[in-house]
Amino acid sequence: MTLELGGKSAAIILDDADVEQTVAALLPASLMNNGQACVAQTRVLASKRRYRAVADALVAAVGQLPVGDPMDPATMIGPLVAARQRERVEGYIRLGREEGARVALGGGRPAAYSRGWYVEPTVFVDVDNGMRIAREEIFGPVLAVIPYDDEGDAVRIANDSDYGLSGTVWTNDVDHGLEIARRVRTGTYTVNSFMMEFSAPFGGFKSSGLGRELGPEGLSAYLEPKTINLPMGYEPRTSY
């Protein structure tokens, strides 16, 4: 048995990253399928020094995403899967406000669509990682922008989660990004982009699941290894 159970992945934006380019590349990884994706990068970590610049860029970019008919190729944000899912997402938006986070964009239903389970793409700022909107999987178009003090603090926040499925780091120094990647405990991690490599194992740590899918490691759950023990000192006459 293998289990893939979801995530609350963090995107760490380092201070040397170009904010505009990073946000443009990050949004498809954060709001794919209207945020209904286990690997969605829904916690956006920005240093306190550049927090407002990152938050403002996110708000501007998310605000430009076309909301509409999911059958229209131009649409970037469509409806959620069911009424119960919209109610769940709206419940988390209310909860985020009650916890003290501020809605910088969205937070309601698009006025242009009375039919369909739509929620406006929503960006929360002034989010603490202890808030439920930062700890629980919302599974909708809701992003939480979380400040960090330094890189060590960013890694700590990324790892301070019940989940460990995916994550990204954004930096002008790929080698340094690789160092960060090794310190974040997730099953899949990407530097300066987001991808799933179908020839590599996919799965998570902690509450994100058990075992791996894809790649040679993905076959292990379907195999039963066998061990044959031989007497001490025995040398087989043939190789197997």
Token digits for 50?
A: 């550049």
Q: Which of 4, 120, 137, 151 is catalytic?
A: 4
Other Cβ atoms closer than 10 A to 82: 10
Exactly one of 20, 38, 87, 99 is catalytic; name it: 38
Provide the total of helices (H) and of strands (E) in the chain, helices listed first.
6, 11
What are the two backbone dihedrals, phi and then psi, of residue 43, each rounded to the nearest 5 degrees? -100, 115
Look-up of token digits 């469509």: 78
**Distance in angstroms (rounded) separating the CA atoms of residues 75 and 239:** 60
Enumerate residues 6+ apart whose C-beta is below 8 A from 37: none
Q: Please, which residues bridge with residue 191 across strands? A: 169
Q: Catalytic annotation on 38?
A: yes
Which residues, 6 or more positions from 236, have their beta carbon under 8 angstroms from its beta carbon?
230
Q: How many Å apart are CA 223 and CA 1, to the nearest integer?
A: 11
Distance CA 15, CA 6 (A): 29
With a CB cutoff of 8 Å and minimum separation 6, the contacts of 140 are: 34, 35, 36, 80, 85, 86, 88, 89, 92, 119
4 is catalytic: yes
One-letter amino acid identity for 30? S
Q: Which amino acid is at 21?
A: Q
- The residues annotated as belonging to the active site are 4, 38
